[in-house]
Amino acid sequence: MNLVQTDAAPTAYRLYDYAFRAIRSAKIDRVFNLIGGARGVIFAVHRVRPFREASFQPNLGLEITPDFLEAAILHTQSRGFYFVSMDEALRRLGTKNSENFAVMTLDDGYYDTAEYALPIFEKHTIPATVFITSGFADRLTPLWWLTLEEAIKQSPSISLPDSDGPIGFATDNVAKKREAFRHIHDRILQLPADQVKPLVSELARQADVDVKRLSEETCLDWNGIVDLSRHPLVTIGAHTVNHPVLAHCHAAEAMVEMARSRATIEDRIDKPVRHFSYPNGAQGHAGPREFSMAKALGFASATTTRPGLLYQAHEQWPTALPRVSLNGFFQSIERLDTMLSGAPFLIRNFGSRLNIS
């Protein structure tokens, strides 16, 4: 399996691709395979579904094909990583001389998880943790990145509300659509959490996008989540109520987002929720404040989207765990192999195995 869509990828992804190729060409990853010392890896997945041919797919990075998911599982196992649950991963982090491990996690709660990913997990007996955004299941929170995609896809132009006056974007060809998406997407990620929903509602209004219907077509409802929670391979985790950038929330608001999502999910599935995933959990989106909040709320673990493998030192930071994204733009076993060496992440972090600041 080798599906690489670098032409449609944002600049940052193309830079990562160049770095992966350079590392592999210089055989740096082989050295790190021998001296890296990683204990495990947590994979971050969003959507799993068959590839669709379309010129404008700005959220392609958030989805992988079922074939690539299966290939990634098999390759990871061939590299000596044994797939375990999140609870077992925490136990192994605290146990010397245990086998290397891999954890499969999926964010948001898409229908694709049950339709396409779960059969692969069943085939290979792979445990998985599924982090649920309770507002998506309640149909009260718009999936803003998908709403933005649909609004731009359907419109020859779009206007972004702004305090200094609306900003207009021509979206009458693919190149302009991609540029508008990147600009507005980055702008939304910078906004205070309470400004995101009204802005997205306005964008949806301009293009006549039905945000509730989009949620209904995309995300599991509570019946589906309850069914998933009863599967012996699945652990359900929390992913906030409204999927905000927690670092942009006031402290009390962030605590409510984390605690209320857990309480809602526990009430629905009638099981304890021990694990959490930070939405948009990159550096700057979730940091020491949020790591402390997750610990104070009693979560056994919390995962970021900061890239990296797991080392013994992460035993002391279970609410700041890095993950390796199975990325839709670069569905390549060669790139996965390089990531499993840990080389790109240690180079990126100037040799540090922890990235928690």
pLDDT tens sequence across 208-229? 999 999 999 999 999 999 999 9
Q: Residue 223 contacts by C-beta under 8 Å, 6 or more apart in sequence?
A: none
- pLDDT tens profile 68-82: 999 999 999 999 999
Task: Identify whether residues 266 and 223 lie together within a single domain.
Answer: yes
106 and 225 inside one domain? yes
Q: Is residue 324 part of a domain?
A: yes
pLDDT band per the 50, 70, 90 thresholds, residue 350: low
pLDDT at position 6, please?
Answer: 45
Q: Is residue 75 part of a domain?
A: yes
Return the residue matching tokens 């109520």.
241
Are the C-beta atoms of residues 342 and 30 closer than 8 Å to each other? no
Instruction: Mention every residue, 6+ apart, whose C-beta is less than 8 A from residue 243.
Output: 108, 133, 135, 136, 141, 143, 144, 279, 280
Same domain, 228 and 123: yes
Torsion angle of C-alpha atoms 186, 189, 195, 201, degrees rounded to 10:
60
Looking at the domain assignment, is residue 260 inside a domain?
yes
* 4 assigned to some structural domain: no
Cα separation, 4 vs 101, in Å, equals 27
The residue out of 213, 243, 260 marking a domain boundary is 213
Q: Are residues 124 and 153 in the same domain?
A: no
- Residue 72's pLDDT is 97
Residues ≥6 apart with Cβ < 8 Å to 153 = 56, 177
Q: Quick one: pLDDT at residue 25?
A: 56
CATH no. for residue 225?
3.20.20.370
Query: Which residue range forms the structural domain that includes residue 319?
Result: 38-140+219-331
- Domain limit, last residue, from 213, 231, 256: 213
Q: Is the pLDDT of residue 283 over 70?
A: yes
Confidence band (pLDDT; 50, 70, 90) for 163? Answer: confident
Tell me, yes or no, whether 21 lies in a domain: no
> Are 153 and 122 in the same domain?
no
pLDDT > 90 fraction of the chain, expressed in percent and rounded: 74
342 in any annotated domain: no
Domain count, the chain: 2
